[in-house]
């Protein structure tokens, strides 16, 4: 089993903390991580488990999906000062990233559901290597979902597949079959056999026209759209069931700071 936080710690402190050793810092202390930005909490429970494994006590953590204001403490712990200093930077960086992902996802969901209460905001599998577990969780706790977790859990016939695969008239699978057509003719052709069609490079006006035609062919068909800008979400939301976006993974990290004090 991969111990992600152990890996992060090994990267940041491979041999020891030169500064605390030079200063001969010992004893017990407290650590508080504060956010200068407002946001949505994510994955602090995972960080708590790591702290506990190091013999530290977590006295407070923001809940998954919980809103917090700028200036709020989002994570607090106490225990051995040397351990707190070792975990300080990876903890602050970790929370700044996952809470930013959750915050952007929440904002996307809010914007889309004002136009379509049943729409789903789904993120892609274009996660950062070694961080997928927490990026996916941050999306989920903020009201989003996953378009694809991996190649092993879903079927998506992309335009690249269509370029090299033999022609097909019928497909059968236990999982939903999603197809990304290359043009309108293929969209109309595959509407009958697909569970989901992923439509890119359509304007909202074009989407309104083609979606009506596709759902006349297959009333149970779900329509997904990808490759749109975040400010375009309200324009597309009335016409689709799913908006696929990678943008939450690249949200600007929240501005966090950490205070460590002796008990």
Residue pLDDT, tens place only, 181-206: 999 999 999 999 999 999 988 899 99
Instruction: State the pLDDT at residue 102.
Output: 98
Residues ≥6 apart with Cβ < 8 Å to 204: 232, 235, 236, 239
The second-level CATH assignment, the architecture, of 2-104+251-260 is: Alpha-Beta Complex (3.90)
For domain 108-248, the CATH class is: alpha beta
Instruction: State the pLDDT at residue 1.
Output: 55
What is the domain partition of the chain in residue ranges? 2-104+251-260, 108-248
The token pair at 144 is: 């989003």
Q: Are 226 and 126 in contact (CB under 8 A)?
A: no
Instruction: State the pLDDT at residue 177.
Output: 87
pLDDT mean over 53-80:
98
Q: Considering only 73-77, 171-175, 239-243, which range has the smallest mean pLDDT? A: 171-175
Q: Quick check: do 2-104+251-260 and 108-248 share a fold? A: no
- Count other Cβ atoms within 10 Å, centred on residue 179: 24
Binned at pLDDT 50, 70 and 90, residue 240 comes out as very high
Q: Are 183 and 162 in contact (CB under 8 A)?
A: no
pLDDT tens, 136-170?
A: 999 999 999 998 777 888 888 888 998 888 878 88
For the chain, what is the radius of gyration of the CA atoms? 23
Instruction: State the pLDDT at residue 154.
Output: 84
- When the pLDDT of each residue in the chain is averaged and rounded to a whole number, the result is 93
In our burial notation (b when 16+ CB lie closer than 10 A, e otherwise), range 113-147 reads beebeebbbbbebebeeebbebbbbbbbbbbbebb
């Amino acid at each position: 089993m991969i111990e992600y936080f152990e890996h992060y710690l090994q990267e940041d402190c491979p041999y020891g903390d030169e500064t605390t050793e030079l200063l001969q810092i010992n004893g017990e202390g407290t650590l508080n991580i504060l956010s200068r930005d407002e946001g949505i909490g994510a994955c602090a429970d995972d960080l708590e488990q790591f702290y506990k494994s190091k013999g530290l006590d977590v006295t407070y953590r923001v809940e998954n999906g919980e809103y917090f204001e700028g200036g709020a403490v989002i994570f607090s712990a106490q225990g051995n000062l040397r351990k707190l200093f070792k975990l300080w930077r990876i903890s602050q960086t970790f929370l700044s990233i996952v809470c930013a992902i959750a915050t952007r996802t929440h904002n996307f969901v809010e914007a889309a559901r004002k136009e379509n209460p049943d729409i789903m905001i789904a993120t892609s599998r274009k996660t950062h290597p070694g961080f997928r577990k927490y990026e996916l969780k941050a999306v989920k706790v903020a009201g989003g979902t996953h378009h694809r977790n991996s190649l092993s859990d879903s079927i998506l016939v992309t335009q690249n597949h269509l370029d090299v695969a033999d022609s097909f008239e019928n497909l059968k699978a236990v999982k939903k079959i999603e197809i990304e057509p290359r043009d309108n003719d293929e969209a109309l052709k595959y509407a009958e056999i697909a569970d989901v069609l992923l439509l890119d490079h359509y304007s909202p006006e074009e989407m309104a026209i083609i979606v009506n035609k596709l759902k006349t062919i297959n009333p149970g068909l779900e329509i997904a759209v990808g490759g749109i800008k975040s400010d375009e979400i309200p324009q597309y939301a009335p016409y689709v069931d799913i908006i696929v976006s990678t943008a939450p993974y690249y949200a600007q990290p929240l501005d966090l700071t950490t205070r460590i004090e002796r008990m």
